């Protein structure tokens, strides 16, 4: 048997389906099925019952899960160590972390600089992407931990809540609403909007608030990153409602930020595989991350 077979078996057991496993490991469903069949043939056991296109774990699969988990952890650590050596990091610990693009260009550079200055025996690999991709990276062991929106979509993860964030209203300089201390949905009646993508759960909540206040939503531009939304606002295209967590980090002399009130709170935190024990340096990194995410507390607050 090989590491890929064990990863596939574990992913199917954790997600409950070949579809879930294919998403976690970025493999096709047919590849997942082939790996499972190959594993069963090699060990001489049928681990799943095939019922109407579903895989139902047999007692043998449940019995093997813990052992497979421990073995795949060992193999993953071995692979990590060979990666470190091949990259010239002999004697150093490689920490792999996943974050959204917006944080990798704002908060993280300074945080990583300070962390590495205090941890001379540590190297970092930073993986950037949307929250769902970060979850998949954690499940697929591409990263040790990832920064995600809570609750996570994948049940195979354990999470550490860090911060709760409201929203900021991003306004072009000179906009009449920039004179207000806060901006509400009622204030945005008949205002052109730049909104974040429909796939975000927070988008639904914001649109519901806006419709309740004014009946219709005048979305002129839909974007898929906070940075692009703020750039559109800077050009005077419209007004945007963005997570304060990111908005507090973006500075522009052409955009004014005002708290969106009342806020719609969203939680964020760290995701790891279940039963993962994080090292003391990583925990120190996460503690500092929480402090800097909260910042001056404008529409953000720590959890725990």
273 three-class SS: strand
In the predicted structure, residue 235 carries a pLDDT above the cut 80: yes
Asked whether the CA dihedral 70, 71, 75, 81 is positive or negative, the reply is positive
Give the pTM: 0.71
Residues 260-264: contacts with CB within 8 Å, 24+ apart?
260/166, 260/167, 260/168, 260/169, 260/182, 260/183, 260/184, 260/299, 261/182, 261/183, 261/184, 262/184, 263/166, 263/167, 263/299, 264/166, 264/167, 264/202, 264/205, 264/206, 264/209
In the predicted structure, residue 246 carries a pLDDT above the cut 90: yes
Q: What are phi and psi of 127, to 5 degrees?
A: -110, 130
Strand 48-51 versus strand 54-57 pairing type: antiparallel
pLDDT digits (tens, 9 = 90+) for 74-86: 677 677 667 766 6
pLDDT digits (tens, 9 = 90+) for 192-227: 999 998 766 678 889 899 988 877 788 999 998 899
- Rounded to an integer, the average pLDDT of 106-134 is 91
- Rounded to an integer, the average pLDDT of 100-111 is 94
Q: Domains, the chain, ranges and CATH?
A: 3-85 (1.10.10.10), 92-164+266-302 (3.40.190.10), 167-259 (3.40.190.10)
In the predicted structure, residue 258 carries a pLDDT above the cut 60: yes
pLDDT digits (tens, 9 = 90+) for 147-176: 999 999 877 799 999 999 999 999 999 999
Q: How confident is the model at residue 187 (pLDDT cuts 50, 70, 90)?
A: very high
Distance between CA atoms of residues 53 and 76, nearest Å:
31
Asked whether the CA dihedral 35, 41, 46, 50 is positive or negative, the reply is positive
Distance of alpha carbon 281 from the chain centroid = 21
Q: Are 169 and 258 in contact (CB under 8 A)?
A: yes
DSSP secondary structure letters along 68-82: HHHHHHHHHHHHHHH
Which has more confidence, 93 or 263?
263
By mean pLDDT, which of 8-17, 70-79, 102-111, 131-140 is the weakest?
70-79
């Amino acid at each position: 048997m090989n590491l890929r077979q064990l990863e596939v078996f574990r992913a199917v057991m954790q997600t409950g389906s070949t579809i879930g496993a294919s998403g976690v490991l970025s493999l096709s469903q047919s590849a997942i099925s082939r790996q499972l069949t190959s594993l069963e043939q090699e060990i001489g056991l049928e681990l799943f019952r095939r019922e109407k296109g579903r895989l139902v774990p047999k007692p043998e699969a449940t019995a093997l899960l813990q052992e497979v988990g421990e073995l795949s952890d060992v193999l993953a650590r071995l692979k990590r160590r060979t990666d470190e050596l091949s990259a010239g990091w002999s004697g150093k610990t490689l920490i792999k972390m996943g974050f959204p693009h917006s944080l990798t260009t704002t908060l993280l550079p300074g945080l990583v600089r300070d962390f590495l200055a205090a941890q001379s025996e540590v190297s970092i690999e930073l993986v950037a992407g949307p929250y769902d991709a970060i979850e998949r990276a954690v499940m697929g062991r591409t990263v040790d931990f990832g920064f995600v929106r809570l609750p996570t979509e994948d049940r195979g993860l354990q999470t550490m809540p860090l911060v709760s964030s409201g929203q900021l209203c991003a306004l072009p300089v000179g906009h009449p609403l920039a004179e207000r201390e806060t901006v509400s949905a009622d204030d945005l009646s008949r205002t052109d909007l730049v909104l974040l993508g429909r796939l975000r759960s927070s988008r639904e909540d914001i649109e519901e608030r806006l419709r309740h206040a004014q009946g219709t939503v005048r979305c002129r531009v839909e974007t898929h990153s906070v940075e692009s939304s703020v750039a559109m606002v800077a050009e005077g295209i419209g007004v945007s409602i963005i997570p304060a967590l990111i908005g507090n980090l973006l500075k522009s002399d052409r955009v004014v930020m005002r708290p969106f009130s009342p806020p719609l709170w969203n939680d964020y935190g760290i995701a790891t595989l279940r039963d993962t024990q994080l090292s003391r340096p990583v925990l120190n990194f996460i503690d500092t991350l929480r402090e800097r995410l909260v910042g001056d507390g404008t529409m953000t607050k720590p959890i725990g």
